[in-house]
Each structure stands twice: as structure tokens, then as C-alpha cells.
Amino acid sequence: MIVSVKQKLAQLGGSAEIKKWDQQRHWARLTAMKYSSGNFHLGHWWRGPLLYSLVQYYKPRHILEFGTGRGYGALCMGQASLDAQFECTIWTIDNVPPTQQQEWAIDEGTGPELRQLTLKQVWDKHFPTKLTRRIKLLTGDSMSVMRLWRHKRRPAIDFCFIDGGHNYWTVKHDFIAGLDVARSRCSFLFDDYTERKGYGVTRLVNRDIIPRVSRGAVEVLDTCSHVDTSDGSVVHRMALLNGMQVDTIPLGQFYSPLTVKVFVPIYKVYSYSRNIASCLRAKCLRGMALPIH
């Protein structure tokens, strides 16, 4: 079932009017703008209003986000809890540290530009501490961070946004790791439910999730159809596994213990070899970029 973002916002009690989401659009210009082929665009900024409305609807006490990026999703979720005045902590994981400079497309009100900025710099300048202190930034790859979740006595989660590595193995790892620390009735939102080379969200949702849950428990959300695309929005879909509707199989038993036992070491090897390959690639590129005297 494909639902447009406008329909979903209305269903959640949020507004489908673009004007009502000025704050999120402004934040997207600070934290979610993209730059490609000489153009700046906002990409799928509608995930901000969607996350905001989902958080106000489910009122989760603890949220887990895989993939902080520059923080747009986490900030929108945090603001939703502040506005609705309930306690909420957002635990968000990224392998890029908040103090590391990255190429950052930003429009601070004077037009879009490409700069080298850190997440900390942008957040300190533009976002109030009453919002950012609700967000716990966890640095590392999702496997290392999640392995220590219980050891660090972190809490069970009520809502999970999976938006880190998008290949099938990483999405599956993040889903399993999320399930492992989820309370029953926890909902999961997957970004990039799309048929794109190297993306595995569609495969995971279609093969591993939909056949195991009751009809209607998974909704595909079209975050760009029926909305104004004059800001350069692109076709984009997300998938929502509604924990309130999962009654055919308890979330905690999604995968058999044997599947998990076999999957984890395979993913470890896969993940380490990918990391080594990308380090070697980066070293080679650095070597090629050395000036010749």
C-alpha cells in the first residue's frame, strides 16, 4: 500500500500544508541540503515533517536513529517532543564524529553555499541547547555501537529510524540490532525504500518483513508525490513498520535465534572487509593526489 506524505501527515494529525512546515524547511536548508552537478537542492526534506508527526503520534520515550548525517532527522524528532512536552531522548549513531569537518551544503539565509563545517559548529550556532541536549550523538559504525548497547546500560527503544548504510547487509544488521533493543510495539521507519543500485531496503522490507506481518502493518510512504517539487525535491519513498499493528509475529521473534547467530559473524567479516577496502581506496587516492616535486 503506497500512501502519500500528505495523506500520512493528515492521518497522524499533522498538517499537510507546506506553509506549516517553514521551520523544518529552514532546518533542511541548514542540515539536509544537497549539492550535485553544480546545483543545490533540498532533496527529500519532507522526512522532517513526517518524523515530527510520527514522534508526536507515537510519543516514544527513547528513539534510536541509525545514521545521524548532519542531524536533520534527529533535530525534527527532538523538536516534536519539545513542542508536545514529553520526555524523549534520541540516540543517534554515525561513523562521522560531530567534530569532524565535512563538506556541508548550507543556506544560512544568504543563499546556498558549499563549506567545510562540523556538525558541532552548525548545531551550536543554529539550534538551542534545550533541543540538542535531547540528542545523544554516538560515534562509530553501527555494529560497534550496538554491540555495547546493553553493556552501557542504554534503554530499550520505542521508535527506530533506519537511515545509515543503505546496502542490504547493513540495513539488515541495523534492523536486527534495533529489534534486539526494542520494546514490543516499537515502530520502525526505513529511509530510501527505492530500487537503486546498491540499495537493499526494498529487498529487506519485501522479503524479510512484509511476508511475516499482518496486512497493513507495513506502509510505503511516498514523501514527494503530490507535493510541490519546485524546490528540487526528488522522488523518494520510505517504509513504515507499524509496531502497533504487528500481531501475527511478535517483533522480538522476527528472526530465529539461529538466523541471528549465523548472520552476525558473516556481517562482521563483510563489514571489516568493506572498511579495509575503503581505507585502502582512500590511501591510494591520497597517494595519487600527492604533489610531484
Ligand X SMILES: C[S@@+](CC[C@H](N)C(=O)[O-])C[C@H]1O[C@@H](n2cnc3c(N)ncnc32)[C@H](O)[C@@H]1O
Residues that bind ligand X (CB under 6 A): 32, 47, 65, 67, 69, 72-73, 93-96, 141-142, 163-165, 170
Query: 152: which 3 cell numbers?
Result: 552501557
Q: Tell me how far apart the alpha carbons of residues 246 and 256 are, in angstroms, rounded to a whole number.
A: 17
Angle at 50 between CA 48 and CA 55, to 5 degrees: 95
Contact 243, 186 (CB under 8 A): yes
Q: Least Å distance between CB 172 and ligand X?
A: 12
Q: Least Å distance between CB 67 and ligand X?
A: 3
DSSP H/E element including 269: helix 257-289
Q: Least Å distance between CB 96 and ligand X?
A: 5
Q: Least Å distance between CB 290 and ligand X?
A: 26
Nearer to ligand X, 106 or 246 (CB): 106
Nearer to ligand X, 60 or 73 (CB): 73
Nearer to ligand X, 46 or 246 (CB): 46
Q: Least Å distance between CB 198 and ligand X?
A: 12
Nearer to ligand X, 142 or 213 (CB): 142
Nearer to ligand X, 164 or 243 (CB): 164
Alpha-helical segments (H) within 168-256: 168-180, 201-203
Give the residues across from 237 on adjacent strands.
222
Residue showing cell 511476508: 211
Nearer to ligand X, 213 or 222 (CB): 222
Query: 165: which 3 cell numbers?
Result: 548504510
Nearer to ligand X, 95 or 245 (CB): 95
Task: Provide the residue type at 103 as one letter.
Answer: E
Q: Tell me how far apart the alpha carbons of residues 185 and 50 are, in angstroms, rounded to a whole number.
A: 19
Contact 52, 45 (CB under 8 A): no
Helix, coil or strand: residue 114: strand
Give the residues across from 104 on adjacent strands.
115
Q: Least Å distance between CB 165 and ligand X?
A: 3
- Work out whether strand 218-222 and strand 2-4 pair parallel, antiparallel, or are unpaired: parallel
Spatial CA neighbour of 245 closest among 70, 34, 1, 15:
1
Q: Least Å distance between CB 18 and ligand X?
A: 19
